[in-house]
Structure 1
Amino acid sequence: MSRERVKDSWSAKKWFTVLAPTYFGNVEIGLTPADRPEKVIGRVMEATLYDITGDFSLIHVKLYFRIIDVSGEVAQTEFYGHEFTRDYLKSLVRRGTSKVDGIFDVVTKDGRALRVYPVAFTINRIKTSQEKIIRNVMGEVVEKKAEQLNYGEYAQEVVLGKIASEIYNLARKIVPLRKCEVWKTKPIKVRAKTVETLRAETQATA
């Protein structure tokens, strides 16, 4: 492709301002180029919780937003998962302690499915039986909150640490905990029948 054709291709494009969803304050999270509005639909943008809140201590939280609509030159998004940086996760590990991981598939009140990854760090090393109890607490909390909240509300409570705080307050009654986080979430695609199955499983464990 000639240099002139490349130049013409770029001159035909314009920049769209991308906003976080309303449940994250409609904050501007970036710009994305396209020659037609429909071409930006489905693109996934990355930001940090620092970009949303202005709190530098939250820069380790990476957020993903998928563009779902365009009005004029403004693109609207929805939450598309989050994760902590590897360096931050490594900094939480201590010698002589235990790390308890969980992975749970949940369905929110409005029928959206997410895979949720909580983690707890203990003050001292604990038994396998205690790890199992903590993991059960994690599952109960993330599933119960999903039943109560719609997708946007759930995303907000996960990212801002409210769900992790609830897990911490319950699990520390079992063993002393140093920290509890939900370090990752990601949307998952499930069929309607699977959604019903997930809901039934959640209600059975409630």
Structure 2
Amino acid sequence: MAYNKKYADWKRKIWFTIKAPAIFNEVELGETPAYKPEQVIGRRVELNMALVTNNYQLQNYKGIFKITKVEGTTAKTELEGIKMYESIIQKWVEPGRDKITDSFVIKDKDNRLVRVKPVLITNRRLHRKQGTAIRNIWRNYFVELGKKLSFEDMVMKILNKEIPEQLKIQIKKIYPPLFFAIRQFYLEPREKHILLIE
């Protein structure tokens, strides 16, 4: 058999098992190959949260996990964020309805920067003042919440719908939403120039 360098190099690679963080019971997220352990540091895995948690109700979100440490052939990760699939939001968008989005950065109790991206859909177009009032509601809410909770705590409360339900109660005072969700929630790199909401 002729020597195949590409095949020979592949055989030398080590397969590392990727594990979720402790908040997700360190379930297996998959495997990744590399020649050396340090080569897998920094790699990211995106996976449907229903598979991570074994909870079908969380299928609308995917989790982003970053490998931060290797022990033997186990690659340990940290949660970088969650993102709702865009198709979930788009099915609510129809002519005559209003879609309000926002993007802002807060600090959690550990002084980490967190990007928050809510989305709201109503059955008619809202006045500008109503949109501003609604944005102020969720911005103020997350600023205060970040003073008390860690990034991971807030992620869990988004996934179990505690945060969205609390916000919907406040938003209804301005206008009842057809659909409301935190479409993206993730750690913001500190090296980026950002406008912090405090």
TM-score by length of 1: 0.85
Q: Is the 8 A contact 2:114 2:151 kept in 1?
A: no
Task: State the 1:185 CA deviation.
Answer: 2.4
Residues 30-179 of structure 1 mapped to structure 2, 5 A cutoff: 30-179=30-179
Task: State the 1:3 CA deviation.
Answer: 6.0
Task: State the 1:57 CA deviation.
Answer: 4.4
Aligned to 2:23: 23
Letter in 1 for 2:64: Y
Q: Which runs of 5+ in 2 are unaligned?
A: none
Q: Is the 8 A contact 1:62 1:85 kept in 2?
A: yes
Name the CA distance, whole Å, in 2 between partners of 1:15 and 1:39: 12
Aligned to 2:10: 10
Q: Which runs of 5+ in 1 are unaligned?
A: none
Q: Is the 8 A contact 2:82 2:155 kept in 1?
A: no
Percentage of identical aligned residues: 28
Name the CA distance, whole Å, in 2 between partners of 1:19 and 1:159: 20
Judge which range, 50-59 or 74-83, deviates more: 50-59
Letter in 1 for 2:53: T
Q: Structure 1, residues 105-157: CA drift from partner, whole Å, max 9, x if none?
A: 01111111111101112233321111111110110112211111122212322
Name the CA distance, whole Å, in 1 between partners of 2:3 and 2:166: 57
Give the aligned CA root-mean-square deviation in angstroms.
2.2
Letter in 2 for 1:44: R
Task: State the 1:67 CA deviation.
Answer: 0.5
The alignment of Structure 1 onto Structure 2 pairs a total of residues equal to 196
Task: State the 1:27 CA deviation.
Answer: 1.8
Higher helix residue share: 1
Q: Is the 8 A contact 1:41 1:70 kept in 2?
A: yes
Name the CA distance, whole Å, in 2 between partners of 1:177 and 1:3: 64
